[in-house]
Amino acid sequence: MLGSLPSFARLVAELSKLPGIGNKTATRLAFHLLRRSHEEVNALATALVEMKQNLSFCQRCFNIAEGDLCSICRDAGRDESSICVVQEPQDLIAIERSHGYRGYYHVLHGALSPLDGIGPEDLKVPQLLERLKDQQIKEVLVATSFTVEGEATALYLARILKDAGIKATRPAHGIPLGSDLEFIDSATVQLAIDSRREL
Amino acid sequence: MLGSLPSFARLVAELSKLPGIGNKTATRLAFHLLRRSHEEVNALATALVEMKQNLSFCQRCFNIAEGDLCSICRDAGRDESSICVVQEPQDLIAIERSHGYRGYYHVLHGALSPLDGIGPEDLKVPQLLERLKDQQIKEVLVATSFTVEGEATALYLARILKDAGIKATRPAHGIPLGSDLEFIDSATVQLAIDSRREL
């Protein structure tokens, strides 16, 4: 049946390319879009095209940006002595949402993974080293993920930063706020107890 | 952060309108699309626009169609004495995939649901009644869903068909092929035993 509807089949094929969307979900989405008005479908198509036209990566920190520099690099009111290194723009957004950090960022666009053949040159590490030559930088907060690859990347950067005489820090491990001890994995509980503080 | 990226925020908003896609999934999809090439994103946008331009509903059976009539209504080799009534074009596709039916179809685009204020006039029921005036039609296979609304719609149509002297049938209930009895709900098992056949 769908073979006789090439434009429907093409939309299903394009939607199936999205992550986490298989053939069944793509078909369901295509049927949904079929019922929507021309305006609504065009709004989505326009948003797609304009996003690609307008967005790129910041030339300094590789965060997503409209224009050459992202809104954070354009903000002169931030702490110039500090760079926070994250794996992905999403991580940057999460940190910004917390309002816990007021310095600048550097987005690596991945983590070291020797088994997958991903080395420092495949990430934005050379560009970070270039930025570290700036004498103003006193601290680098290494906020890569707390996974094997993220920790390996953090260790790698910590070594470079130590050689360069720049303080390297990492967000603390511990019990998340509002959580029940019984549901926290024991490695986290152990770390939280090791880093206990006086009340 | 996203407030400074209007085209990104707009894409996330548009993607969030899709069924089953919340804000988090929409953001993840938008980040994925950001990393894809211009060509790939344009292919999706074009597929969206062309689907809306090319597709509509068949003027006879209300299946999806490119042009006035769908590929099934355009197929003169089918059994003209039979119409299969389904709720949605997806149901039609499922029946076609089974190769178990060779007549024509009629898509209601919903089921009766008095509580939601959906009556026969809100569905393609008047158009079905019009088609039933054709003396050639001997049987209507009512393949609405096996839900409360679908069964109510089937009963409603069965009554009309009986008055019109047309045979109304419904797909059999029973145990699906390849399934384990222990995992089938007991109402289905009961129906399957009631309709047991001799070997």
CA dist., res. A87 & res. B116, Å (int): 48
Distances (CA, A) of A32 to B7, B65, B180: 23, 15, 34
CB contact under 8 Å between B14 and A54, yes or no, is no
In B, which residues are within 8 Å of A10 by CB distance? 47, 50-51
Q: How many CB pairs (< 8 A) connect A and B?
A: 153
Nearest chain A residue (CA) to B97: A1
Q: What is the pTM of this model?
A: 0.77
**Considering only CA atoms, which of B174, B102, B160 is closest in space to residue B131?**
B160
Is B3 a residue whose pLDDT tops 80? no
In B, which residues are within 8 Å of A64 by CB distance? 5, 8, 34
Distances (CA, A) of A197 to A168, A171, A192, B167: 21, 16, 9, 80
For the segment B12-24, what is each residue's pLDDT rounded down to a tens digit?
A: 999 999 999 999 9
State both tokens at A30. Answer: 């295509």
- B-proximal residues of A, 1-60, CB under 8 Å: 1-2, 4-8, 10-11, 13-15, 17-20, 25, 27-34, 38, 40-55
In A, which residues are within 8 Å of B40 by CB distance? 17
In B, which residues are within 8 Å of A66 by CB distance? 4-7
Is B197 a residue whose pLDDT tops 90? no
b/e sequence A101-127, b meaning 16+ C-beta within 10 Å? bebbbbbbebbbbeeeeeebeebbbeb
| Local structure of B17: helix, strand or coil | coil
Write the residue in B18, B46, B51 that is nearest to A8 by C-beta. B51
For the segment A140-198, what is each residue's pLDDT rounded down to a tens digit?
A: 999 999 999 999 999 999 999 999 999 999 988 888 888 888 888 888 888 888 888 77
Q: pLDDT exceeding 90 applies to what percent of chain B?
A: 74
Write the residue in B1, B20, B54 that is nearest to A93 by C-beta. B1
State both tokens at B83. Answer: 């119409």
Domains of chain B: 2-54 (1.10.8.420), 72-198 (3.40.1360.10)
Residues 6+ apart with CB under 8 A from A126: A120
For the segment B147-183, what is each residue's pLDDT rounded down to a tens digit?
A: 999 999 999 999 999 999 999 999 888 888 888 888 8
CB contact under 8 Å between B8 and A41, yes or no, is no
Does A123 reach chain B within 8 Å, measured CB to CB?
no
Q: What is the pLDDT of residue B64?
A: 93
Is A25 a residue whose pLDDT tops 80? yes
Q: What is the pLDDT of residue A108?
A: 96
